[in-house]
Structure 1
Amino acid sequence: MIRMHSLRQKLAAVVMLTTLASLLVSVAILIAYDLRHYHRALLGDMSTQAELLGHMTSAALSFDDQRLAAENLALLRIRPQVRAGAIYNARGELFASYAAPGEAREFPAKARADGVQIEGSNLFLYRRIIENGELLGTVYLRAEYALVSRTLDYIGVALLITMVAMLLALLLTRRLGRIVTAPIFAIAEVAREVVSTRDYSRRAPRTSTDEAGELVDSFNAMLTEIEQRTGELETSNRAIAREAEERARAQQEVMRLNEQLEVRVHERTLQLETANAELELAMEEAKEANQAKSAFLSAMSHELRTPLNAILGFAQILTSDSLPSTLPQKKEFAGHILKSGRHLLTLINEILDLAKVEAGAVNLSLEPVELGDVLGECRSMIEPIAAERGIRVLFPDACETVVEADRTRLKQVLLNLLSNAVKYNRDAGAVVVDIAFDTPGKVRLSVQDTGLGLRPDQLDMLFQPFNRLGQENSGQEGTGIGLVVTRRLVELMNGTIGVSSRVGVGSVFWIDLPVTVPHALALKEAPPALAQPVEAPEANARHTLLYVEDNPANLKLVEEIVRFRPDLRLMAAQDGHLGIEMARLHRPDLILMDLNLPCVSGIDALRTLRSDPRTAHIPVIALTANAMPRDVERGLAAGFFRYLTKPINIDEFTEAVNSTLAWIDRRAASRKEQQP
């Protein structure tokens, strides 16, 4: 039937059918691709989320820590498509659960095997948690599966697009059809006249410059073809020759491009081979790290069970009626229990320190620290241990160097190096502590022992976690992670650590730390008003000031400043817990608070004070080395009355204390006036 219609109608029909077919195929492909991508992406995302949750909660399942597992599940709140999640233990029992706001907390009673199940608009996923070949539990996730709704939405959008496109195609075809068919109708009219009249002088009018116009020109050219045949043949021959030349040049260009392509393929092959080699090396390193971790866990199991064996064994003897013991024996048994307990605490602290360092949760207070004081404290702690094996420990005679470091962490680093020097030394050996200034602005502190030394291959693995360098069966206690923590702490204090060793001679561990100026120098710039000391400053004190600070040098500086103030009485606390208790007990007028405190940070201590009615009214001034603008903004937003940074500016410190005390006096006077 289509043959009976006009050219315009046929053209319109062809355009409409072509447009419809193209739209249907394109929309169908897009919908199918998007739905397939959505299904795969959702499954991949949920599988990855389940794997991540399983890895994060393996420790919680191992130690039966439901709170940690619930906290890990609570992280699912950032994934809005996850409606609920749960962790099952190895027995298939519900261990911890999470449900998005507004979702029902309905979970299967028992865990199922690995797999994915789709029911309506819900997707259920089960993934087992396996660590070192042991089944620890199962992860359960319930997510929104919107495949049907997306399909309906896409079908509606596809219908709308098809209708609009077909309408536009119909309008454009009617509008443009006349432009396409008009030259053809003109040629047909002239052709009928030429055939009937044999008048070859007639010419068809040219109304366009497209293919229809070319058709008109061709038709007109046919009328003069006889007299122009020779010229046209020559022109055609020249055109063929030019085309042959162009084809030859094109063939040469293709050959050149092929050669370039071969070179590129060769280069890319070399790159892939290099990448594969690097990947194999990385996989080998990961395999070695995993083996070291497994060995570490095995060693830690032995290390933790050894002191527990002594603790539980002697405790059973002390509590047993069938194994009577004398008082000296009980004291001996209690001593063994105490020694094993301390060793167990040391092991746990090392593991916790490594976990904090790896997680970036270590907060340091970088302040001027007198190196001589820290070395003196370390000397008093390490000499009794060394004396038990007849090892001499030699320290520098005098040291007035001041370094920029965290006092507590610096002491931990030095004690770890000294303990290792004693532990792995030979009996009646020596440990030498030395100080050198080889680099401007830096001080090098070295610890040298007379032990067996380390081989080059052992030096390469010295600072790797979970690696004891073959000392597992040497009889020496330890976890093999002390040096890892030591290196990370030194780096956090803007320092460097290194080692040199010779087999049979000994080892030298050294750390470089930046040198700075002590805060005590600021006392020389004190204003004249503070230059006259008072004999009994606390006798006439009107206000009580509590300073919470763990650094003795900083505490001494504030004591010296306040010593010239007869109206102030100073109390001090070395950590956040003690500061909170002293504030509750003594009710000071003003509190100075460091932020980087052991046990409880200054921010947390401030929250505790604000939540207690007994201390909520006491103004707290932050006095800290965190001097970045964002730190100041965060401190003021947390509720500090003022925010002072170290090193202390005495004028600024005095102004802050005076203005705060004046505010306290005005508040007290206002309350008295309001009383009847």
Structure 2
Amino acid sequence: MSRQRSIRKKLVAMVMTTTLVALLVSIALVVAYDLRSYHRTLVNDLSTDAELVGHMTSAALTFDDPRLANEDLLLLRASPLVRGAAIYDARGQLFASYSAAGEKQPVPERLDQVEDSGNGIMVVSQPIVENGETVGTVVMRAENRMLARFIDYLAIAVGVTLIAMAIAYLLMRRFGRVLTSPIIAITEVARDVVATRDYSRRAPRIGDDEAAELADSFNAMLTEIEGRTRELEDSHNATLRTATERSHAQQEVMRLNEQLEQRVDERTLQLALANAELANANEEARSANQAKSAFLSSMSHELRTPLNAILGFAQILTSNTLPSTLEQKKEFANHILKSGRHLLTLINEILDLAKVESGTITLSMEPVALADILLECRTMIEPIAATRKVRVLFPDVDGAVVMADRTRLKQVMLNLLSNAVKYNRDEGAVVLTCDQCTPTRMRLSIQDTGNGLNPEQVASLFQPFNRLGQESGTQEGTGIGLVVTKRLVELMGGEIGVSSSPGVGSVFWIELASTAPRTSSLAERTAPAGDGSASSASDSEFVPRLLLYVEDNPANLRLVEEIVAFRRDLRLLSAHDGHLGLQLARAHRPDIILMDLNLPGMSGFEVLRQLGADPETADIPVIALTANAMPRDIERGVAAGFHRYLTKPIDIEKFTEAINSTLAEGPDLAASGERNHP
């Protein structure tokens, strides 16, 4: 019986220990998560209240009205956790204050006398900014009930643990008896058989599980032993030899059966793994094919956009039928130069991305002094920032050293800094900070005062050809610079991340291993008199045909303006997005509409659909003029109902022929209904 009790005790102890550990871990995780969420919520609520109070009292500070500020602070009575609040002016002197009922702690007379959080009190301060100038500071004190909350959770955890352990103990006492009863019965029978040599005894069959099968096998063994015992009386030696051979045969069969089962399990597992690998390979192949198609389409558009300006203006400069003045030639040449540099930047970034993706890029990891890197970046970035009056603030990082590839680290910092300047507002600011986040990690943060990004834009930020989530189309760029930056940082053993608030700005940061230092929204233009498709009628009888061009790229718009300027039979209207294009089409009823497809906010296909749905604009022929030049893009455009589909770079002869032929069809086109409307 001692052995029986020992098995039960071990089983109960094992289950109770497992239950206790699981409970403690679960309760600890829940409590830690709740306390962390409570602390974050309290900090966020206090910060929000402080910011709201700052906005409400900024006028009172500006006009030196303490009474109004005190009335505004009385609104905090609705927040039971707030024990007190104070408004300090720009000199740090107390301007207005509020204390909750029963609050005994006095309000400090100066801002520098305010104590930090502690003793169950949380203190939050927020500057009050009016027209870009800090006019004061709001300080709020609130109860921090985290300790009381923790004690409550501790009491609940103790109660839950005791109840759960008691239930587990009771269940195990009952179920343990069910598990051990068959084994105990077999043990008792075996003990009696050994003591009495009575092989007629049989173990009872309890249940229908492995223990029952063990009892059957044990009983069968007793039956076999009983028969062999009778035969042993006649021929002891023969029976002993037979029994030995049979025992060996049974063991071999069991061994072979075990090996067979093991092989079947192994083959089944191998087949399942092979099927899973095949499914994953098919999915990866499909995803890679889709990614390849999307990449080629994006590449075609990005490369053709600068080529359109280069080849278009070059055709004007080399054409004998399109004369231009010296000033125009200089302007066209500047457009060609700018587009050529943009194209070179695009190609360089694509090559960098290709090197990173193919694994052919090599890094030379070494201790790099941040002061030297930031000085070089400052020299290159400040002239760019000065053109938009953006202030760039660099920290003092003397003695800070990180493990990195010097050239690639400089490339990473220049890309992040140039993005912060490019997507900033005019007269904004870029602030670079350096923090030792852990003893072995250094964090560099770049904060801007731009428009910021929403969560959806942040989620797709590090994807190729995503221009920092900007949909305005006013900034040039390939959208792959951040992809290269992310891969370079990861190759250097670092991390990169971003946090952003729409309307406030964004913060891009990288972390690297640190080491010890070594010793026109709307334009209308009437073409001047000149050669071209001029009619023989007099100026008083001549009415130019109206052409509407919907395009968000200024260089492409300028190119078409110059082409149309040589024709006195055309007059050009332009719109920088689809919404404005629809308004101008309905207001002016142009003879032809030129439509770019990649427009901000509303695509060219959607504009075409709305034009076709409106009876007033349904008969206006629409010509697609786009850098989407892949065969499937052209097929999609024709199927959507575009009258003609022209691709960038513009071929002036084809462009002129498309305009002339469409104008020649004129009323016949509208009357016959030959246009295909979506």
Higher RCO structure, 1 or 2 (CA under 8 Å, sep 6+): 2
TM-score norm. by structure 1 comes to: 0.36
Question: Which structure's CA Rg is the greater one?
Answer: 1
TM-score norm. by structure 2 comes to: 0.36
